């Protein structure tokens, strides 16, 4: 008969661990409750993964799928539109991540320094609200504000300030390549900065007040306390947020999809919108090709997760997975 394995509990007491079968039977209620969750995960998350085999097929809405090997990948890597989308995905995602993180830190520090509690809570609520608006609503709002017609508020202001002649057509911010990216970043700042401050405010609330008291004794000004106490205390959290979000840079879709158009594909088209157009915006799509592009995107995203996990181990002492 196999002897039970000895284990040491958190209190330092050595006990004999029961066999696996007995442990499962003793906790059978938990396993029974877990079965529906397991079945749902398999059906919704793992079963669809069998579809990646179509990356090797010529699979169109009509006809029988035909095995063609790696032809789709050859086509993908030789298509300029794909590389434009891939480059835009990395540029837009990384720049958005850096900009929104910086603004979230600045706003968090500003809110932390506010002495009026009522004003602080009110301002927090106001800047949180945009996060709960859908991207479709956000796109509608800014399309109206930035419209080149007489109803566009921004162009109206520019004309009132004399920056644009009254008889001159307004700037079509969302249809000009040089304006689209700055506007995209500004919209993301407006929508996501408030939500991003939550984790930084939580970190700031945990800073030892004695550090600020010691700084006061040393005669430090408010700006010096922010520079030498607040910012250093936030650095670990800032690095963690950047690392965790860097793993998601390939997943950009909705924020771009509702704001871009064919006039700015060169600066706005990303991998997900490229896949969408190849799947639904042409007369006879080849689902095998879009599956290959999606598989490539997933592989790059997985590689980024692994890289970020290694960086996290170096920076934080533990991984993210």
pLDDT at 1: 45
Residue that has been written with the tokens 């008969």 in this structure? 1
C-beta of residue 197 within 8 angstroms of C-beta of residue 104:
yes
Report d(CA 144, CA 157) in Å as an integer.
Answer: 14
pLDDT at 264: 92
C-beta of residue 68 within 8 angstroms of C-beta of residue 60:
no
C-beta of residue 109 within 8 angstroms of C-beta of residue 226:
yes
pLDDT at 319: 66
- Domains of the chain, start order: 5-58 (no CATH), 71-316 (1.10.3720.10)
pLDDT at 295: 92
Which residues, at least 6 apart from 24, have a Cβ–Cβ distance to it below 8 Å?
31
Q: Give the end-to-end CA distance of the chain in Å, rounded to a whole number.
A: 38
Q: For residue 82, give the nearest of 314, 275, 317 by alpha carbon.
A: 275
User: In terms of pTM, does the model score above 0.75?
Assistant: yes
pLDDT at 26: 86
pLDDT at 90: 92
Q: For residue 69, give the nearest of 246, 248, 288 by alpha carbon.
A: 288
C-beta of residue 134 within 8 angstroms of C-beta of residue 257:
no
pLDDT per residue as tens, the chain (321 positions):
455 566 565 566 666 777 888 888 888 889 999 999 999 999 998 998 888 999 999 988 888 889 999 999 999 999 999 999 999 999 999 999 999 999 999 999 888 888 788 888 888 888 989 999 999 999 999 999 998 877 788 888 888 888 777 777 778 888 999 999 999 999 999 999 988 898 898 888 888 888 888 888 888 888 888 888 888 888 888 888 887 787 788 889 999 999 998 889 999 999 999 999 999 888 888 899 999 999 999 899 888 888 877 877 777 676 666
Report d(CA 189, CA 261) in Å as an integer.
Answer: 21
- SS3 string of 236-271? HHHHHHHHHHHCCHHHCCHHHHCCCCHHHHHHHCCH
Phi-psi region of 108 (alpha: psi -120 to 50; beta: other; left: phi over 0): alpha
Report d(CA 91, CA 184) in Å as an integer.
Answer: 12
Which residues, at least 6 apart from 30, have a Cβ–Cβ distance to it below 8 Å?
none
Report d(CA 239, CA 98) in Å as an integer.
Answer: 11
Report d(CA 20, CA 277) in Å as an integer.
Answer: 51
Report d(CA 93, CA 104) in Å as an integer.
Answer: 16
Q: What are the residues facing 6 on neighbouring strands?
A: 16
CA-angle at 317, arms to 311 and 321, nearest 5°: 65
């Amino acid at each position: 008969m196999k002897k039970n394995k000895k284990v040491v509990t958190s209190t330092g007491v050595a006990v004999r661990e029961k066999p696996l079968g007995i442990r499962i039977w003793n906790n059978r209620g938990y396993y029974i409750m877990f079965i529906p969750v397991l079945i749902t995960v398999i059906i919704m998350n793992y079963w669809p993964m069998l579809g990646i085999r179509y990356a090797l097929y010529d699979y169109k809405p009509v006809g029988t799928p035909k095995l063609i090997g790696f032809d789709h990948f050859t086509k993908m890597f030789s298509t300029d539109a794909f590389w434009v989308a891939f480059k835009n995905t990395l540029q837009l995602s990384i720049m958005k991540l850096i900009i929104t993180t910086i603004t979230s830190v600045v706003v968090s520090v500003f809110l932390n320094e506010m002495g009026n509690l009522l004003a602080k809570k009110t301002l927090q609520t106001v800047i949180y609200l945009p996060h709960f608006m859908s991207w479709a609503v956000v796109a509608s709002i800014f399309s109206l504000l930035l419209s080149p017609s007489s109803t566009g508020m921004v162009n109206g202001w520019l004309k009132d300030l004399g920056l644009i002649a009254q008889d001159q057509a307004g700037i079509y911010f969302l249809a000009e390549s040089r304006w689209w990216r700055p506007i995209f970043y500004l919209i993301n700042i407006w929508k996501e900065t408030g939500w991003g401050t939550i984790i930084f405010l939580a970190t700031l609330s945990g800073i030892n007040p004695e550090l600020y008291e010691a700084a006061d004794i040393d005669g430090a000004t408010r700006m010096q306390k922010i520079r030498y106490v607040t910012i250093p205390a936030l650095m670990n959290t800032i690095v963690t947020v950047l690392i965790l979000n860097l793993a998601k840079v390939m997943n950009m879709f909705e924020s771009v999809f509702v704001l871009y158009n064919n006039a700015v594909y060169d600066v706005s088209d990303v991998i997900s919108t490229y896949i969408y157009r190849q799947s639904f915006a042409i007369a006879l799509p080849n689902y095998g090709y879009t599956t290959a592009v999606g598989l490539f995107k997933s592989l790059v995203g997985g590689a980024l997760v692994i890289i970020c996990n290694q960086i996290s181990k170096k920076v934080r002492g533990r991984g993210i997975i």
